[in-house]
Amino acid sequence: MPKAQTIAPALTPLTATAETRDELGRQYRILMKDAPVRLAATTLAYILTSLFLPISTILTCFAINLGGEIMSARALKDLDPVKSPARYRACLAWVFILEMGFSVVPAMIWHIDGPYMKAFAVGLAVTSLMHVSTVRSIHLPMALTGFAAIGGAAVVSNALLWIDKGDWAALAYTTVCAIAGLGYGVGAILSNNQLHKETARGRFEAQAANAAKGAFLAQMSHELRTPLNAILGMGHAELRRTSDPVSHERLSVLISSAEGLSTILDDILDMSALQGGHVPTRPLAISIRA
């Protein structure tokens, strides 16, 4: 019956546009949940780098990074790329800016000659790549935008260092290593993005299966209601006509059982209504004093 389908509607497959909105929504929620830890770790990294770089440079990069975080989060909230394409492009631009604000710091440290300086720079860059390949990999364009900022800063900084020193062998060797590392980063981004997609798809399929189960239960409840009403009607009619005590007792059991089954069907319909977000309102007279 049509009424049963309105009680627990089955979910339809997500379109490409709806899937993108879902991705952006999940991306926003994860970024907001991760924000306190990310801000604390980023602040600590800037404090450590202030030991080797001018404080004015560190404060400028920190302001760029923090501003990008705030602006990208504002643009990402409730974002629909179809309805707001300019806002979507602005969100990606802010992601590029915030990642560049952080990537410039290890790129500058890479040029410092000193014990562990290059290891420190590589560690900062890898940390940033891990953030992009995990936290921001839900929405692939966002992850690739951040990756472009990190990779671009790393390759350009490395090239400038060895070209200035005239060490072409070191330039070739470190460039190959950087490209290999960045290639692995791209693979991690794609792999994590696919994992996020499969997880979201599995959750949606589970929700769809649950909605289909509710729709089936509601449909069967309505289908069973008609013969059950016939049993109750005939039972009451025969109960009024019979004078045989044995028949009267048997019909009473029949009617009582049918009424119990009717109560169960009502419970099934209520459950389907709850799952479908349509809870029926049944006014009842009550005693306020009681």
Looking at the structure, tell me whether residues 47 and 124 fall in a common domain: yes
Sign of the CA dihedral with 157 first, then 49, 68, and 63 last: negative
Domain closes at, from 162, 182, 204: 204
Look at residue 79 and tell me whether its pLDDT is greater than 50: yes
Say if residues 74 and 115 touch (Cβ distance below 8 Å): no
Looking at the structure, tell me whether residues 98 and 120 fall in a common domain: yes
Residue 283: the pLDDT is 84
Looking at the structure, tell me whether residues 32 and 173 fall in a common domain: yes
Average pLDDT, the chain: 86
Q: Is residue 51 part of a domain?
A: yes
The token pair that represents 23 in the structure block: 């991705």
Q: Is residue 9 part of a domain?
A: no
DSSP 147-213: HHHHHHHHHHHHHHHHHHHT-HHHHHHHHHHHHHHHHHHHHHHHHHHHHHHHHHHHHHHHHHHHHHH
Residue 109: the pLDDT is 93
Looking at the structure, tell me whether residues 27 and 150 fall in a common domain: yes
Domain closes at, from 165, 186, 204: 204
pTM tops 0.95: no
Task: Please give the Cα distance from 206 to 200 (Å, whole number).
Answer: 10
Looking at the structure, tell me whether residues 181 and 269 fall in a common domain: no
Model confidence pLDDT, tens digit, residues 176-232: 998 998 999 999 999 999 998 888 888 888 878 877 877 777 777 778 878 888 888
Question: Which amino acid makes up residue 65?
Answer: N
Q: Is residue 228 part of a domain?
A: yes
Find the range with the poorest average confidence among 13-22, 87-96, 130-139, 244-253.
13-22
Looking at the structure, tell me whether residues 226 and 185 fall in a common domain: no
The CATH number of residue 244's host domain is: 1.10.287
- At 52 the three-state DSSP class reads coil
Residue 61's pLDDT band, with cuts at 50, 70 and 90, is very high
The token pair that represents 203 in the structure block: 């959750």
Reported for 118-127, long-range contacts at CB under 8 A and 24+ positions apart, including other chains, are 120/48, 120/52, 124/45, 124/49, 125/150, 125/154, 126/181, 127/41, 127/45
Looking at the structure, tell me whether residues 269 and 150 fall in a common domain: no
Look at residue 130 and tell me whether its pLDDT is greater than 80: yes
Q: Is residue 250 part of a domain?
A: yes
Domain closes at, from 179, 204, 229: 204
Looking at the structure, tell me whether residues 36 and 135 fall in a common domain: yes
Q: Is residue 6 part of a domain?
A: no
Give the residue, 109 or 268, on which the prediction is more confident. Answer: 109
Looking at the structure, tell me whether residues 163 and 214 fall in a common domain: no
Residue 13's pLDDT band, with cuts at 50, 70 and 90, is low
Residue 1: the pLDDT is 37
Residue 6: the pLDDT is 40
% of residues, the chain, pLDDT over 90:
46
Looking at the structure, tell me whether residues 31 and 90 fall in a common domain: yes
The token pair that represents 169 in the structure block: 């062998």
Query: What is the span of the domain harbouring residue 270?
Result: 210-276
Model confidence pLDDT, tens digit, residues 81-91: 888 999 999 99
% of residues, the chain, pLDDT over 70:
92
User: Looking at the 3D structure of the chain, how many domains does it have?
Assistant: 2
Task: Please give the Cα distance from 69 to 39 (Å, whole number).
Answer: 9
Measured in residues, the chain has a length of: 290
Looking at the structure, tell me whether residues 165 and 69 fall in a common domain: yes
Looking at the structure, tell me whether residues 185 and 165 fall in a common domain: yes
Residue 14's pLDDT band, with cuts at 50, 70 and 90, is low
